[in-house]
Amino acid sequence: MRTAVITLVAGRHEHLVRQRAALSDGVHHVVVAMGDGEAARCRALLGEASDVIGVDAEPDGLPLARARNAGAEHALAAGAELLVFLDVDCIPGAALLERYAAVADDDPALLCGPVSYLPPAPPGGYPSTGLDALAKPHPARPVPPEDGVQRSGDHTLFWTLSFAVTAPTWRRIGGFCEAYVGYGGEDTDFGQLAARAGVDLVWVGGAWAYHQHHATQSPPVQHLADIVRNGALFHRRWGWWPMGGWLSAFAERGLVRRDAAADRWVLT
C-alpha cells in the first residue's frame, strides 16, 4: 500500500526536522507550508527529503482545513493509497506506518493512533530511541493493545494529531470543510462527516506518535476569537456546540458569555 505522510507547518521547524528524521528515506513526506515564505523555509531545512507545497494564509488565521485537503490531493495525485496525517509536533513511532497500513488493509475506517506526550527536550534534543519511556499517553483517548484495535463509536474523540485513511475512505468522507479558518472545530467537524458517511472510528494499537513539548495555554486564550467563530460555524452545521470545556473556561474568565435564548456564545 503506497503511503504518504502529510504534515502542516507554520513554524515549529525543529519539530519538523525531528519528525522527518524518524521517517525512512523512502516515505513520501508531504509538507504543507502555510503562510508567506514558509514553503521556502521548509525546503531550505529539508532539502529534497520532503515534498513541500505552499498554501497562503488567510486574514482570520491559518487555513488548517484547506491545507489538509491540499496535502491529501497532492499525495493522491502522486499515487498514494493510504494517507497518514501527522501533526508537526509528532514524532512517529517505529511501527506507526506499519500498523496503520496493516489495519487499513482489512478495515476501511477512519484510523487514529495513540499519542504520548514528551517532556521538554533535553540538551541535544530527544533520543532517537526510547521515547516510550519518556512520554505519557493522553488520558482522554483509548490506548488499545499493541497488536489490537478498538472501535470507538464516539466520533467526537477524533483528532488530527495522528490519523490515517485509505484513498477511497478519504473520498467517501469528502475531506475537511474549508469554511473553518484558524484554530478549532475543523477536526470535530471531520469526525462528524465520517460518522454521517458511515465510516467507523477505529483506534490502532501500536501506531504510536510522540508529541514534542511546546509552550501552551489552557484554556487557549490566544485562539479565543477562532474558537468562538469556528464553534458558531460548527453549531450551524451540526446543531450543537463543540469545544464546550474551553468556552466554559473562557466564560469563567469573563472573555465570552452564553446567550441562552439564541443558543450562542459571544465575545465580551
In this predicted structure, what is the pLDDT of residue 74? Answer: 98
In this predicted structure, what is the pLDDT of residue 41? Answer: 97
φ, ψ dihedrals at 65, nearest 5°: -65, -50
Angle of the 13-22 helix axis to the 38-46 helix axis, nearest 10:
40
Residue 251 to residue 268: CA distance in whole angstroms: 9
Residue 112 to residue 161: CA distance in whole angstroms: 9
Residue 267 to residue 193: CA distance in whole angstroms: 28
Show pLDDT as tens, one digit a residue, over the chain (268 residues): 999 999 999 999 999 999 999 999 999 999 999 999 999 999 999 999 999 999 999 999 999 999 999 999 999 999 999 999 999 999 999 999 999 999 999 888 999 999 999 999 988 889 989 999 999 999 989 999 999 999 988 999 999 999 999 999 999 999 999 999 999 999 999 999 999 999 999 999 999 999 999 888 889 999 999 999 999 999 999 999 999 999 999 999 999 999 999 999 999 9
**For the chain, which residues make up each domain, given as ranges?**
3-211, 221-267
Instruction: Give the bridge partners for 58, in sequence order.
Output: 61
- Spatial CA neighbour of 84 closest among 128, 19, 149, 147: 19
In this predicted structure, what is the pLDDT of residue 71? Answer: 98
> pLDDT tens, 51-96?
999 999 999 999 999 999 999 999 999 999 999 999 999 999 999 9
Residue 20 to residue 34: CA distance in whole angstroms: 18
Domain 3-211 belongs to what topology? Spore Coat Polysaccharide Biosynthesis Protein SpsA; Chain A (3.90.550)
In this predicted structure, what is the pLDDT of residue 81? Answer: 98
Residue 99 to residue 149: CA distance in whole angstroms: 10
Sign, Cα dihedral of 246, 236, 109, 76:
negative
Residue 163 to residue 146: CA distance in whole angstroms: 16
pTM of the shown model: 0.96
